[in-house]
Amino acid sequence: MTVQAGIEVDVDLELLVGAIEAPPCEHSQHQTKPGAHGGEAASHYVQGFCVCAGWSDAYAACRKFVTYIQKGDMNRCPDCGYMAPRNTVFKVLGPIGNTSK
């Protein structure tokens, strides 16, 4: 018996396990800043930056927060007070799966 390396298999994960629910927004201030966050599930992966901590790990964020980032208003770090435009201290990495459902 021989084994062939590099065989590509095109598998639709949704067919195997069913529809996967979008995760909740994981932003630390999701519950405390309703003006920047909605009640819906997360729609995108995001990273935040501050001079005091560098880039954060990627986390799931709700659509309202992504829109909040894109407005480009100023953002202040709650830890050190560093201020910069939101669209420079947050990076929207991409959508979470199929967010049209």
Render 29-80 in DSSP notation, one character per residue: TTTT-TTT--SSPEEEEEEEEETTTEEPPPEEEEHHHHHHHHT--EEE-TTT
State the CB neighbour count (10 A cutoff) for residue 68.
21
pLDDT at 101: 45
Q: Return per-residue pLDDT of the chain as tens, 101 residues.
A: 555 566 666 666 566 666 667 788 888 777 777 777 788 889 999 999 999 999 999 999 999 999 989 887 899 998 999 999 998 999 999 998 754 44
Contacts of 93 (CB under 8 A, 6+ apart): 44, 45, 46, 47, 58
pLDDT at 33: 75
Domain extents in the chain: 22-95
Query: What pTM was estimated for this model as a whole?
Result: 0.69
Report angle CA 63, 44, 99 to the nearest 5 degrees: 75
